[in-house]
């Protein structure tokens, strides 16, 4: 049979369960868009910028079983989308990127958008494919999907040159999709050894990341049997329910809240699952990891990179923790260790710390403590929270309880500002009946705020809380502590309402603590009409998060005595003499 490459590509996308593509049509993918228009299973979504498209695709992959998919033009479309592609790569999120390609059959040089895209994207993708025949289109897309979703997930790039899109070619059959990869064979002797190591510990602790998101019920069982506290990475904040009495919070080192630090103070054996012990997760590598570390991850490359493990297990987290829970049940005769004293300590420390953020209601700004307390009151376990990169990220990490896996999404190791606005739209596409809340700083908001137009166009009632302080808050605070200067971190006087008006969103101002509850109620009521809402939150950033304090302390401690004296002396001089 003869088929155009565009029709073959769309057929394959339907087979692997793609629901939406995000991007902008151009001369090199116009045939793909025309075929998407014929599909009753896939909707092509027009964005304002391909960077927004890649973040929307992340929102899809992070909050659903479908894979986020881009449909972009080569060269300029690719470079525009690179931030989201890089985020997917470093954060381990599956993504498919489809790009048109310049004609390979014309013999012409200096064509529009002619660029070696394989070299361009090789550092931020798991694989790259350039189609060279009609016959290989379907099988290549299936292979790309398997690569993107297997092992540690990530983005895969497929370039389809125009001659294959436009013209018909011979294909033998339209094959249905069949999964072709298997998880690595799990070494059960290591599971037994890990169980013995953990059961013998006096104070075991558990540390989980995004890779353990689908294994929460097994993590809870193991925690219960061991009487062990559980901390999470930032990306994996929702991989263990905050409602569990043994949940401590984000991190377990100097960058973590007091409940975490005290619960893990004497930790003598650790179970780490779906984590890489990366810089943000460990507060600039400031954590103390016990010698008796059992590390479980689907990607064996992460083992022993920053902290040596006694037992490393290459496995899918869900499979490994299920077996580990069964082994621990046998060893403990299914009698959980008494953890009531630990649970009491954690609860008391959480309440004490949260109350520090609510010392006195403010009349000219919004207190983070009162804000998150009220936000929690008017959201539920099914709410999807999407944050950006900035000071608000760590406020949410410390003050916002989340109880369901994949219901808190954050840009992490690539750590790209501008993530929140489009990623929340992607999440809303896949979760139309759930509340989707974006929490973003004014700096990050300015980068992609015009994507709110996409939410308006497609009737996605996302509620954005823009923490407005007029600065790049996290960095300006890092500058202020040692330097007493804020260099290039003061934002221009942006009128957030103007952005709402321009994009068709509803605008609300939240100027002080007295307005928090009323504005939040109005915002969610308005979003029920399938209208995006932008809430301008005049936030109080004067109090530092534990993350900020912990990272400064950890990094300063690493300086040589001479450099430490120089830095402290410079800071003291400036704080005393400069006004």
The confidence score (pLDDT) of residue 491 equals 87
Confirm whether 75 is domain-assigned. yes
- Mean pLDDT over 283-290 rounds to 96
CATH of the domain at 340: 3.40.50.1220
Same domain membership, residue 384 and residue 365: yes
What is the spatial distance between Cα 55 and Cα 28, in angstroms, rounded to a whole number?
A: 22
| Span of 111-115, 265-269, 350-354 with lowest mean pLDDT | 111-115
What is the spatial distance between Cα 427 and Cα 65, in angstroms, rounded to a whole number?
A: 11
What is the spatial distance between Cα 91 and Cα 61, in angstroms, rounded to a whole number?
A: 12
What is the spatial distance between Cα 53 and Cα 63, in angstroms, rounded to a whole number?
A: 16
Same domain membership, residue 155 and residue 13: yes
43-46/20-23 β-pairing: parallel
Q: Residue 479: is its pLDDT beyond 70?
A: no
- Mean pLDDT over 101-124 rounds to 82
pLDDT tens digits, one per residue of 201-248: 999 999 999 999 999 999 999 999 999 999 999 999 999 999 999 999
- Mean pLDDT over 335-343 rounds to 95
579 confidence band (pLDDT: 50, 70, 90):
low
Same domain membership, residue 143 and residue 198: no
What is the spatial distance between Cα 296 and Cα 502, in angstroms, rounded to a whole number?
A: 48
**Cross-strand pairs, 98:** 71, 158
Confirm whether 120 is domain-assigned. yes
Which structural domain, as residue segments, surrounds residue 15? 2-170
Same domain membership, residue 374 and residue 301: no
- Nearest 5°: CA angle at 126, between 124 and 127? 110
Domains in the chain: how many in total?
3
> Of the candidates 406, 416, 400, 399, which has an alpha carbon nearest to the alpha carbon of residue 384?
406
What is the spatial distance between Cα 178 and Cα 172, in angstroms, rounded to a whole number?
A: 17
Q: Determine how many CB atoms are found less than 10 A away from the CB of residue 438.
A: 33
Same domain membership, residue 477 and residue 361: yes
Q: Please give the full DSSP string across 137-151, using - where no structure is assigned.
A: HHHHHHHHHHHHHSS
Confirm whether 562 is domain-assigned. no
Confirm whether 563 is domain-assigned. no
Same domain membership, residue 245 and residue 129: no
Same domain membership, residue 160 and residue 28: yes
Confirm whether 175 is domain-assigned. no
Q: pTM to 2 decimals?
A: 0.95
- The answer to whether the beta carbons of residues 550 and 282 sit under 8 Å apart is no
The confidence score (pLDDT) of residue 485 equals 73
- The answer to whether the beta carbons of residues 21 and 45 sit under 8 Å apart is yes
The confidence score (pLDDT) of residue 552 equals 82
For 431, phi then psi, to 5°, come to -135, 65
Same domain membership, residue 431 and residue 380: yes
What is the spatial distance between Cα 467 and Cα 465, in angstroms, rounded to a whole number?
A: 6
Place of tokens 């228009």: 37
**Cα dist from 396 to 238, 287, 440, 446, 538, whole Å:** 12, 21, 10, 20, 16
Q: Residue 408: is its pLDDT beyond 70?
A: yes
166 compared with 506, residue with greater pLDDT: 506
Same domain membership, residue 263 and residue 244: yes
- Would you call 515 helix, strand, or coil by DSSP? helix
Burial (0-12, 13-18, 19+ Cβ within 10 Å), 53: buried
**Cross-strand pairs, 311:** 294
Same domain membership, residue 206 and residue 98: no
pLDDT tens digits, one per residue of 243-276: 999 999 999 999 999 999 999 999 999 999 999 9
Provide the mean pLDDT of the chain.
Answer: 94
- Mean pLDDT over 180-195 rounds to 92
* Residue 511 tokens, joined: 């100027």
- Mean pLDDT over 468-484 rounds to 73
112 confidence band (pLDDT: 50, 70, 90):
low
pLDDT tens digits, one per residue of 36-94: 999 999 999 999 999 999 999 999 999 999 999 999 999 999 999 999 999 999 999 99
- The answer to whether the beta carbons of residues 51 and 83 sit under 8 Å apart is yes
- The strand ranges marked E within 191-348 are 204-208, 230-232, 247-250, 269-273, 293-297, 311-314
Same domain membership, residue 96 and residue 136: yes
What is the spatial distance between Cα 429 and Cα 20, in angstroms, rounded to a whole number?
A: 8
* Residue 33 tokens, joined: 């868009």
Measured in whole angstroms, how far is the alpha carbon of residue 443 from the centre of its chain? 18
Percent of the chain residues past pLDDT 90, beyond the cut: 84
Same domain membership, residue 192 and residue 164: no
334 confidence band (pLDDT: 50, 70, 90):
confident
Confirm whether 370 is domain-assigned. yes
The confidence score (pLDDT) of residue 565 equals 83
What is the spatial distance between Cα 400 and Cα 236, in angstroms, rounded to a whole number?
A: 14
């Amino acid at each position: 049979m003869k088929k155009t490459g565009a029709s073959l590509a769309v057929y394959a996308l339907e087979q692997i369960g793609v629901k939406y593509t995000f991007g902008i049509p151009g001369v090199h993918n116009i045939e793909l868009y025309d075929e998407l228009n014929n599909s009753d299973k896939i909707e092509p979504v027009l964005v304002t910028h391909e960077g927004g498209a890649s973040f929307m695709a992340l929102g899809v992959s992070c909050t659903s079983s479908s894979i986020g998919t881009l449909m972009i033009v080569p060269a300029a479309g690719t470079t525009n989308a690179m931030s989201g592609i890089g985020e997917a790569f470093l954060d381990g999120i599956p993504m498919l990127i489809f790009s048109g390609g310049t004609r390979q059959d014309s013999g012409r040089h200096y064509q529009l958008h002619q660029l070696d895209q394989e070299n361009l994207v090789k550092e931020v993708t798991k694989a790259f494919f350039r189609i060279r025949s009609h016959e290989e289109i379907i099988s290549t897309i299936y292979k790309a999907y398997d690569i993107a979703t297997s092992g540690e997930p990530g983005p895969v790039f497929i370039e389809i040159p125009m001659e294959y899109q436009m013209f018909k070619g011979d294909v033998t059959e339209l094959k249905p999709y069949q999964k072709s990869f298997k998880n690595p064979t799990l070494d059960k002797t290591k599971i037994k050894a890990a169980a013995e190591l953990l059961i013998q510990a006096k104070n075991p602790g558990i540390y989980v990341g995004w890779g353990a998101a689908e294994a929460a019920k097994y993590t809870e069982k193991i925690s219960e049997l061991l009487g062990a506290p559980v901390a999470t990475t930032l990306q994996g904040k929702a991989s263990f329910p905050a409602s569990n009495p043994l949940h401590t919070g984000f991190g377990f080192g100097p960058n973590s809240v007091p409940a975490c630090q005290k619960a893990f103070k004497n930790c003598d054996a650790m179970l780490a699952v779906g984590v890489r012990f990366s810089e943000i997760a460990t507060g600039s590598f400031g954590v103390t990891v016990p010698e008796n570390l059992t590390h479980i991850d689907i990607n064996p490359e992460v083992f022993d990179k920053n902290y040596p493990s006694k037992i490393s297990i290459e496995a899918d987290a869900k499979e490994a923790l299920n077996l580990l829970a069964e082994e621990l049940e046998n060893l403990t005769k299914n009698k959980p260790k008494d953890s009531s004293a630990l649970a009491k300590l954690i609860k008391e420390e959480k309440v004490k710390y949260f109350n520090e953020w609510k010392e006195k209601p403010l009349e000219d700004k919004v207190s983070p403590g009162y804000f998150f307390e009220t936000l929690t009151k008017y959201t539920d376990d099914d709410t999807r929270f999407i944050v950006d990169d900035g000071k608000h990220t760590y406020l949410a990490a410390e003050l916002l309880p989340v109880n369901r896996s994949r219901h808190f999404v954050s840009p992490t190791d690539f750590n790209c500002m501008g993530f929140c606005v489009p990623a929340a739209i992607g999440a809303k596409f896949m979760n139309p009946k759930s509340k989707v809340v974006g929490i973003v700083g004014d700096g990050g908001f300015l980068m992609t705020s015009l994507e709110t137009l996409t939410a308006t166009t497609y009737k996605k009632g996302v509620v954005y809380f823009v923490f407005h302080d007029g600065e790049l808050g996290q960095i300006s605070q890092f500058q202020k502590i040692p330097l007493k200067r804020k260099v290039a971190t003061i934002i221009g006087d942006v009128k957030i309402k103007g952005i709402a008006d321009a994009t068709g969103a509803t605008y609300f101002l939240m100027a002080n603590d007295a307005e928090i509850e009323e504005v939040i109620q109005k915002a969610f009521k308005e979003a029920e009409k399938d209208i995006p809402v932008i809430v301008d939150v005049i936030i109080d950033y004067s109090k530092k998060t534990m993350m900020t304090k912990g990272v400064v302390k950890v990094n300063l401690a690493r300086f040589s005595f001479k450099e430490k004296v120089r830095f402290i002396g410079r800071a003291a001089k400036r704080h005393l003499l400069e006004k």
